[in-house]
Amino acid sequence: MTERDHPQSRKKRTPRPLDKERLQELALAYVARFATTASKLEVYLNRKLRERGWNGDAEGHPDPAAIAARFVELGYIDDAAYARSRAGGLLRRGYGPRRVSQALNAAGVDEQTRNSVEHGDHAIRQAALALARKRRFGPFALETPDRDRRDKQIAAMLRAGHGFDCVRAIMDAESAAAAIEWSNELASSGHEEEFS
């Protein structure tokens, strides 16, 4: 039997340690492939350094933070654009403002940038409506839920990051049309646009 017959018996090739050039290449490939933040890039590069090691003795110590800062300067990374895009996507999927803020925080978006992309009440209502429609909660259910099922639906909406007032308005709506009307109340007053 040969190694070809038993692939698990092959020795795993150990990747070569990184040097300055290869670290730059990894960083560039990462930002080309993924929408990211400076913090996420830095975490990725540090992980690669831990996994593969550093062979740039003559070149000094690796500095992922400097690479991330340089990519921000060059415009390869824009935390504010990432935050707007990610927040809009999460809202469209039905997540509430608390979960959006948590996701942006986890991605390393600073508080000031997170606050600058907060969406207003109309967008939040639209997000709650989107979740209720998608999951068939409240007035969108095929049949009226019993108390236990209704409590579970309320808990799911709260876990999705919606405030209790918003959840209650959706769940207590008499019909799907009433829920849609509630979600559009603020749009008619010209307060804001739907999520971007």
61-85 pLDDT, tens digit each: 889 999 999 999 999 999 999 999 9
Q: Is residue 123 part of a domain?
A: yes
45 and 108 part of one domain: no
| Residue 75 region by backbone torsions, left for phi larger than 0, else alpha for psi between -120 and 50, else beta | left
Number of separate domains in the chain:
2
Whose CA is closest to 92, among 129, 63, 67, 65?
A: 129
Q: Is the domain of 180 the same as that of 87?
A: yes
- In this structure, the answer to whether residues 65 and 160 fall within a common structural domain is no
Where a domain ends, among 56, 77, 98? 77
Whether residue 85 sits in one domain with residue 57: no
Q: What percent of the chain is predicted at pLDDT more than 70?
A: 88
* Shared-domain flag, residues 136 and 180: yes
Same domain? 111 vs 154 = yes
131 and 89 share one domain:
yes
User: Is residue 73 domain-shared with residue 159, that is, in the same domain?
Assistant: no
**Does one domain contain both 37 and 85?**
no
Domain that holds residue 26: 20-77
Q: What is the mean pLDDT of residues 145-167?
A: 95
Return the number of other C-beta atoms located less than 10 Å from residue 97's C-beta.
21
Q: Which of 55, 77, 99 is a domain's end point?
A: 77
Question: What is the rounded average pLDDT of the residues 166-175?
Answer: 95
Is the Cβ–Cβ distance between 108 and 35 less than 8 Å? Answer: no
Residues 123 and 147 in one domain: yes
What confidence score (pLDDT) does residue 193 get? Answer: 45
Residues 154 and 64 in one domain: no
Whether residues 126 and 154 fall in one domain: yes
User: Is residue 19 scored above 80 in pLDDT?
Assistant: yes
CA separation, residue 147 to residues 93, 138, 150, 153 (Å): 26, 11, 5, 10
More reliable by pLDDT, 158 or 56:
158
